[in-house]
Amino acid sequence: MMAEEDLDIQGNPGTGQLLDIPWEVILWNDPVSLISLVVRVLRKLFSYDLAKAERLTMQVHNEGKSVVWTGDKETAAAYCVALHGYALSATIQQSQ
Amino acid sequence: MSEPFRRVPEGIALDLPSSLRIWLANMAQKTSDDAVTMEDPVHRRLLGPIDPSKDHDDPVTELQRQFAVEGSLGVLIETSNNEVLNEEQAEEWIRALQLILAATAARMAITTEDDLGRLNDAENEVVTTLQAGISLMIDALDT
């Protein structure tokens, strides 16, 4: 439950609340990148095991996107930049 | 025909015809040039903002990303005539081949799986050659 002091004058979350909301790294499907490449990059960058890397990759492939990491903004941005280093389409956003 | 990328004690041996080496180096150079050309679809694809709610990244991130793109493509260009790549150079080749592939897709306006079906033979050959290169390099590196 959100305390009253955490809301601004319009009833939106205050700055302190926004800072607490984690950031997501979203990996988007692209039609030319190989599944094997995406699995390899997820394992290499995030140290995911094969099963998790494959599950996330297939989610990207079948649903168009997947949240591949959640946490603080700086780390999310660093991971996103690393994914772009392999020309993978990735963005960051605050969790909904 | 032998494997184009093969693990050897020193790293990854390259067995590529000179015409393919020249083509890859030229593609890498073109990708590097287009990536720094504002309004070019390659620039938008490779260096678009990581936070889509903003028009561009912060200056440090922008530079970091630009250096990364130029660095990977530069390694491919500089080592395109090598007989052997070390592990680090081979990893940069994977990044560079991916960057060239993504840039190629951006130039061909490939955004969906369906777009692949309308490519002509020459365009399709470029895409499949780059994909095959990435796949074979992954196989060699992870052996």
Domain ranges of chain A: 34-96
Residue A88 in contact with partner chain B when CB distance is under 8 A: yes
pLDDT digits (tens, 9 = 90+) for A3-32: 444 444 444 555 555 668 999 999 999 999
A80 chain-B contacts, CB cut-off 8 A: 50
Top-level class of domain A34-96: alpha beta
Give how many domains chain B has, as a whole number.
1
Interchain CB distance below 8 Å, B131 and A34: yes
pLDDT digits (tens, 9 = 90+) for B105-123: 999 999 999 999 999 999 9
Could you tell me which chain B residue has the CA closest to the CA of A24?
B51
Q: List the single residue in B52, B113, B138 with the smallest CB-CB distance to A36.
A: B138
Token reading at A3: 């305390």
Q: Label residue A84 by pLDDT band (50, 70, 90).
A: very high
Mutual angle of helices A50-63 and A35-46, in 10-degree steps: 130
Which residue do the tokens 């990044």 mark?
B95
Domain of B132, in residue numbers: 5-141
